[in-house]
Chains A and B, each alone.
Chain A
């Protein structure tokens, strides 16, 4: 068992959970919500595209890529904050 006390573990996990929930809320919006309203969004134009089509063909995808890179950075800083990140020589 790694030498990390129980209260640090709990605080770290609470924050990790918070990040997971934030990430999944953004994920939910761009996976489901915007596409539910695709027909209305198509009345708007973005970069010359009908917006509803754009979000499905490109917009949501860009958001997912950025979201994961952001998530990775946030999670790593949470790990460091609580001293539970891996030792540097392993990376």
Chain B
């Protein structure tokens, strides 16, 4: 029997309140055991193992054989909890592990990601989510296929979804592998399969229902794990307990320190995968190119956010259209809690390393002294960090200190001298972030293939049991493919993540928006929009990244969605206008989608 019934929904605040309390007790217990002499490795293993077992238990308790529970969690997830689940679904291993490091190295220019990954929700709320909820679809291609009609439109939407989500999910499984291998002390290739096992335990038995309730649990772990170290560190440095409001002074101080240490000096050596700090922290670009790059990156991430199926499908699970809208607002609030902390974390960490007034600083100190530090040795051993006396003066200069961006989050507790229990907590948080996003993405792909490709196109007569078995087999196969690709370490985490946004916006942004906002949009237009958008975007990515073509107007491989989406928009409008307008039934369907009242367009079990 499953515990998820009517009274489960009524008791949600109590259940997750108890869960949060239990997790805090677990952290305290670990802290006590650390004082009692428990080794750092064991604490790391306990943190990751304990949390993953909890997620798997929730996944098992949420198992179901009902179609609407499997695809849309029975459409009974309250707005606030769906907000938490979306936040976990959204914040990936990259957000958790790499974002603060990106800001550390990239300064203001990199914060374009932060702006893009939050502002995109304004588009989700105003253009998409409420209307898709009213439509009553199970998947994003389900909307495209029904609104525009015909298997070809549905099939193209499945293709775009699969390409975008698969690009994204390999990066997530890569992140679970990295964290699992470090925390559990196993090889990366084994860590990847361990991560996949955890992910499948959460999603396979309960589908969307299992993923929803594990994502809420994962959000709670990841937000505690992200915010606690920052508050602790800020308190130690005298910036108070709400560091997000008080780090202005630290930002200004960095400006002075950058002059002192000569940030901007190019390093004379290079280490694979490692970088030296060369970009100022808060100074913004003054040239047209710098400004243009900032806003184009913001636009790509925003339009991508509003087109990524694993996010949009979260809003199919709310009880009403109104709740879907509210849920977008809650999602962004929960995401905001982490995203406005990341720049603070980057600032504090940089200050720790740069400020000669702090005991932790290393720049400007003697190299022998720095090499003797425990965290320097530990992270050099695993190749995350390198120190080289390029000019031979025995002093560490800013352009002689190299590290990987991921270190900013992973090693901060050690840099600041916090107890190891905090490092264990951070590992559990990173694991939660990567697993929750991977869950959502795998489910988005498997659901599109099982519902849209298998059930709607290949075998419309399949019964419920068959549909749900096919859905699970596909989930397993796709997960295994993604883990296999991840184990080959083809791309760095963030390059691939940005591409997923560009693929999604190239193929899906305008077909989704115009499907609601432009009645005249028809099947031929949507097909042209998806096909030419994806084709041109992919071609441009290929030419800029591998084909040796110079980017047009600074639109590089991170921004290829601009090309894809523009072509998609033009193709969709031109072809729609050149062909007959949609029939009366379709126009009425659009009318129905535009008002919250009344039955959804698709029945609750279709």
Contacts and interface: CB of A to CB of B under 8 A. Distances in A.
Interface in B311-342: 319-323, 325-326, 328-329, 332-333, 336, 339-340
Interface string A8-46: 010011001001100110010011100110110110011
22 contacts: A1-B592, A4-B598, A12-B594, A19-B126, A20-B127, A31-B116, A32-B299, A35-B295, A39-B286, A41-B284, A50-B251, A52-B108, A54-B248, A56-B284, A62-B340, A65-B336, A68-B329, A72-B328, A76-B325, A84-B595, A85-B322, A91-B322
B47 to A, nearest CB: 29
A31 B302 contact: yes
A89 to B, nearest CB: 10
Interface string B113-157: 011101101110111001000000000000000000000000000
Contacts of B248: 45-50, 54
A58 B340 contact: yes
B18 interface: no
A7 interface: no
Nearest to A50: B282
A19 B111 CA distance: 29
Nearest to A68: B329
Contacts of A76: 322, 325
A4 B119 contact: no
Interface of A: 1-2, 4, 9, 12-13, 16, 19-20, 23-24, 27, 30-32, 35-36, 38-39, 41-42, 45-50, 52-54, 56-58, 60-62, 64-65, 67-69, 71-72, 75-76, 79, 83-87, 90-91
Contact of B284 (A1, A42, A68, A90): A42
Contact of A53 (B126, B282, B299, B588): B282
A22 to B, nearest CB: 10
B545 interface: no
- For chain B, give the interface size range: 35 or more
Contacts of B247: 49
3 A-B pairs with least C-beta separation: A48-B248, A2-B598, A38-B284
Nearest to A31: B119
Contacts of B591: 1, 9
The CB with the most chain A CB atoms within 10 A, among B125, B285, B592, B595, is that of B595
A39 B329 contact: no
Contacts of A86: 320-322, 596-597
The CB with the most chain B CB atoms within 10 A, among A35, A71, A76, is that of A35
A68 B126 CA distance: 8
A87 B244 CA distance: 41
Contacts of A32: 295, 298-299
A57 B340 contact: yes
A61 B321 contact: no
Contact of B126 (A13, A24, A39, A42): A24
Given A13-B594, A57-B340, A86-B321, A68 B245 contact: no
Contact of A49 (B122, B127, B251): B251
A27 to B, nearest CB: 4
A79 B114 CA distance: 32
The CB with the most chain A CB atoms within 10 A, among B286, B294, B594, B596, is that of B596
A9 B539 CA distance: 42
A42 to B, nearest CB: 6
B568 to A, nearest CB: 19
A44 to B, nearest CB: 12
Contacts of B321: 86
A9 B595 CA distance: 8
Nearest to A36: B291
Contact of A56 (B112, B252, B594): B112
Given A67-B122, A71-B325, 17 more contacts: A1-B588, A4-B597, A27-B123, A31-B116, A35-B294, A38-B284, A39-B283, A46-B248, A53-B251, A56-B115, A58-B244, A61-B115, A69-B329, A71-B125, A72-B329, A76-B322, A86-B322
A91 B332 CA distance: 21
A84 B130 CA distance: 14
B90 to A, nearest CB: 14
The CB with the most chain A CB atoms within 10 A, among B114, B247, B248, B332, is that of B248
A91 to B, nearest CB: 5
B298 A42 contact: no
A58 B115 CA distance: 9
B594 A72 contact: no
Nearest to A22: B126
Contacts of A1: 588, 591-592, 598
A32 B322 CA distance: 29
B393 interface: no
B210 interface: no
A19 to B, nearest CB: 8
A76 B245 CA distance: 32
A54 B114 CA distance: 12
A30 B23 CA distance: 38
A74 B319 CA distance: 20
A20 B325 CA distance: 13
Contacts of B588: 1
